[in-house]
Amino acid sequence: MIKKLIFYILTTTFSLSAFADNGYNLWLNYKLVEDVSLLANYRTQLQSLYIPYQNATAKIAASELENALKILLNERVAETKEIKENSLVLLKTEDFTKYGLASKSFEKTDAFAIEKKMIQNKPVILISSPSEIGLLYGSFKLLQILGTNGDISQINIQESPKIARRILNHWDNLDRTVERGYAGFSLWDWQRLPKYIDQRYIDYARANASIGINGTVLTNVNSNALILTKEWLQKVKALADTFRPYGIRVYLTARFSAPIEIGKLKTADPLDEEVKTWWKDKANEIYNIIPDFGGFLVKANSEGQPGPQNYGRNHADGANMLAKALAPHGGIVMWRAFVYDNEVPEDRAKQAYNEFKPLDGHFEDNVIIQVKNGAIDFQPREPFHPLFGALSKTNTMAEFQITQEYLGMATNLAYLAPLFKECLDADTYAKGKNSTVARVIDGSLFNNKISAIAGVSNIGNDINWCGHPLAQSNWFAFGKLAWNYSLTSEQIAREWTKLTLHTNNSATNEVVDILMQSREAVVNYMTPLGLHHLMGWDHHYGPGPWIANKPRADWTSVYYHKADKNGIGFNRTRTGSDAVDQYQPQLANEFNSTKTCPEKYLLWFHHLSWDYRLKNGETLWNGLVKKYYQGVEEVWQMQTAWNKLNGNIDPEIHLAVKQLFSIQYDDAVMWRDACVLYFKQFSGKPIPAGLEKPKHDLKYYESLEFKYVPGI
């Protein structure tokens, strides 16, 4: 018995100390400030806490601050009933005069400021905002500054979110499987809801609030109408109640045929009076249960989902009908532009634009068109979607994919801020220079009434939330960019690394370098020079450039790369599908000519001979092959750099990432060899001298099966 006990104590103590960090705390992973003088400085300035509010959000701010400061400063920073010297004070602007402060105005209600102030002749750090949620955002911001060892002696910052609705899209099914989810099952434990509130929901809300995310679509875009029934809505309400104090609104996906499936109507025709009434009643019912319900996200007439076109109506008819049902309650409709039809004899990349452009100006004010960053589908690299900037009379939002469906899932590292920013920073030229995608979606370019951005979540019930420990940085980056798209990818990477991994300066630099090169490495070993959609059939893991002869041509790879003995690439120029002319003339001309088309998009827009000369003088064949080899080399570099960090990173995280890099390296080699061998059949040219030869023949790669890929 005693032996057993000693064994138990030894093993548990050992495992707790040796494997300290399982990643659960995300970037809220507070740690004592190590720099002694900085610590002393923080302690001097943050001796107590004054928050004169009692509502749930203010209480959360207080407890977040108290709990975090206890760890960061190893000192209790207690709440006081009056303002003391050197305290942290949280005040809403409406109360400024009460405290003798000059009034201050903010553009947005969830904006905040953090500054040194004198209040009642006492020096304090003041966090102010028009709203409690802004105070919570400001509190998290201050904690992030402390967590990254920033200077607060003269602190004076003001932040205001550029985009109003910053939303995660969960592709979670009601059976808890997650479409394209690689981090376990859905967080939403429907069976135990509504009575059982899992601590996970609270931690999810904390994490989101800490980066400004203020909306969540709980359910898959390939939706199930059941979620709109009474019993399920009670479960949704329990989540909405949990998230509300964190400033997060709940949205649901609405299946267009719900009136038939759960309403027993004969039709879902959006112009049918009974259908309209059914949705009005449904909206009333939802808002009775969840008064601040955000609205619906709809995937209609896309990949087999029902929609208004089933009844000969168009997208505006469908979206507006739902919008009118939600409008009295302040709800919105996020109507997806991800539509394409295999029966339509048109380049898939052009179809969404063709469908939606003629409808510009026909949508209700509370409809927003949700457009994926690129015109195909979340590829490692795509030019921005031509619909951005094309809808000058319609609210438009962007949809990014945080989950790595096409970028190696949760086994490959791809830090996505550079991908998100490539799209956000792209100039559409819709109203002359500096008409960036970011300015389209923040509503400033066309003076839109609502603005929003969505990220398809990479979150599941894995202990570390995102599967790959470093993939948490993508959730973080999405939130940070949704709040402020002007941040650089590197700034965000640095902040995330410090907060999450507690690396010293040189290790932080190393991790940031790894993150910063990771997405380009993936592009290089998967789809360099503008290639796209080359992945394995259906599950989308691993290479599959040979995919052909499937029920839908636009789901094959040969449709996209068009490799033959004459060359490779999709001709989207004026001699081809003319997708280029969906962009403004400046860009259309730029993309249309090989002289000006950026090489990163070359084969997206051009079909070129294998002997075509790249800018560096190489032939296209040699250049393409070298890109594939470069991608593998970059993975090797990341892997080597990571391995060297042993001892500077928590051992559990280090080991996990080390193992994942070894999978990624093998994946990269497999991608490279499979694609190079496959294209070689057409080019008829050798792999350039000096490059290692593939270990297997093409048949081998074609025969590989990936039986365990999740998320399908």
Residue among 254, 350, 353 nearest 294 (CA): 254
Query: Which residue lies nearer to ligand BDP by CB, 400 or 496?
Result: 400
CB of 377 to ligand BDP, least distance (A): 5
- Which residue is associated with the tokens 């108290």? 66
Residues 309-338 that bind ligand BDP (CB under 6 A): 338
Measured from the CB atom, the residue of 287 and 537 that comes closer to ligand BDP is 537
Question: In one letter, which amino acid is 601?
Answer: Y
Element (H, E) at 399: strand 395-401
| Interface with ligand BDP, residue 299, by CB under 6 A | yes
> Which residue, 244 or 519, has its beta carbon nearer to ligand BDP?
519
Calculate the dihedral angle through the C-alpha atoms of 413, 418, 419, 425, rounding to the nearest 10 degrees.
170
Q: Do the beta carbons of residue 479 and residue 211 sit within 8 Å?
A: yes
CB burial class (10 A; 0-12, 13-18, 19+) of residue 367?
buried
User: Residue 48 carries which DSSP code?
Assistant: E
631: Cβ–Cβ under 8 A, 6 or more apart, which residues?
521, 522, 523, 524, 525, 526, 528, 668, 671, 672
Query: Of 106, 378, 429, 560, which lies in the binding site for ligand BDP, with binding defined by CB under 6 A?
Result: 378
Figure out which of the listed residues 177, 222, 354, 662 binds ligand BDP, where binding follows CB under 6 A.
222
In 218-292, the DSSP E strands lie at 249-253
β-pairing verdict for 215-217 and 395-401: unpaired
Q: Which is nearer to ligand BDP, 222 or 637 (by Cβ)?
A: 222
> Under rule CB under 6 A, which residues in 389-418 are in contact with ligand BDP?
405
Residue pair 536/542 in contact (Cβ under 8 Å)? The answer is yes
Number of residues that bind ligand BDP (CB under 6 A): 10
Q: Which is nearer to ligand BDP, 371 or 603 (CB)?
A: 371
Report the nearest approach of ligand BDP to the CB of residue 628 (Å): 24
Residue span 332-371 as binding mask against ligand BDP, x where in contact by CB under 6 A, dash where not = ------x---------------------------------
CA distance 334 to 328: 16
Residue 550 CB, nearest distance to ligand BDP (Å)? 14
Would you count residue 429 as binding ligand BDP (CB under 6 A)? no
382 part of the interface to ligand BDP, by CB under 6 A: no
Tokens 């898959």: give the residue: 220
- Contact 186/453 with Cβ under 8 angstroms? no
Pairing of strands 112-119, 156-159: antiparallel
Tokens of 458: 């990479």
Report whether 623 contacts 630 (CB < 8 A). Answer: no
Helix runs in 387-453, H state only: 417-424, 437-441
377 is catalytic: yes
Give me the catalytic one of 64, 405, 520, 590. 405
Give the CB-side neighbour count of residue 238, counting CA atoms within 13 A: 18
177 binds ligand BDP, rule: CB under 6 A: no
State both tokens at 46.
């943050």
The nearer residue to ligand BDP, 152 or 398, going by C-beta atoms, is: 398
Q: Does 605 bind ligand BDP (CB under 6 A)?
A: no
Q: Pick between residue 378 and residue 605 the one whose CB is nearest to ligand BDP.
A: 378
Rounded least distance, CB 530 to ligand BDP, Å: 19
User: Which C-beta is closer to ligand BDP: that of 170 or that of 180?
Assistant: 180
Q: Does 296 bind ligand BDP (CB under 6 A)?
A: no
Residue in 657, 652, 663 with CA at minimum distance from that of residue 641: 657
Mark whether 303 is an active-site residue.
yes
Q: Would you tell me how many other CB atoms lie within 10 Å of the CB of residue 599?
A: 15
Specify the residue for token string 């190393």: 510
Helix/strand/coil (H, E, C) string of 162-179? CCCEEEEECCECCCCCEC
**Is 221 a binder of ligand BDP (CB under 6 A)?**
yes
Find out whether 582 and 390 touch, Cβ atoms under 8 Å: yes
What mask of x and - would describe binding to ligand BDP in positions 468 to 507, judged by CB under 6 A?
Answer: ----------------------------------------
Three-class DSSP category at 372? strand
Q: What is the x/- site pattern for ligand BDP, positions 180-209, by CB under 6 A?
A: x-----------------------------
* 127 three-state secondary structure: strand
Q: Toward ligand BDP, which CB reaches closer, 298 or 440?
A: 298
Instruction: Write down the catalytic residue from 198, 203, 241, 303.
Output: 303
Does position 377 bind ligand BDP by CB under 6 A? yes
Q: Which of 75, 79, 115, 179 binds ligand BDP (CB under 6 A)?
A: 179
Least spacing, CB of residue 338 vs ligand BDP, in Å: 5
8 A C-beta contact, residue 380 and residue 601? no
Bridge partner list, 396: 369
As a whole number of angstroms, the distance between CA 341 and CA 334 comes to 21
Instruction: Output 177 or 637, the one with its CB closest to ligand BDP.
Output: 177
| Least Cβ distance, residue 489 to ligand BDP (angstroms) | 23
Closest distance to ligand BDP from the beta carbon of 483 (Å): 24
Output the smallest distance, CB 419 to ligand BDP, in A. Answer: 14
Query: From the candidates 21, 172, 347, 377, which is the catalytic residue?
Result: 377
Question: 135 or 368, CB closer to ligand BDP?
Answer: 368
**Least Cβ distance, residue 177 to ligand BDP (angstroms):** 12
Tell me the CB-side half-sphere exposure of residue 461, using CA atoms within 13 A: 13
- DSSP letter at 688 equals P
Q: Smallest gap, in angstroms, from Cβ of residue 399 to ligand BDP?
A: 8
- H or E element: which one contains 139? helix 132-147
Q: Give min distance, CB of 299 to ligand BDP, in A.
A: 5
> Which residues form the interface with ligand BDP (CB under 6 A)?
179-180, 221-222, 299, 303, 338, 377-378, 405
| Residues marked as catalytic | 303, 377, 405
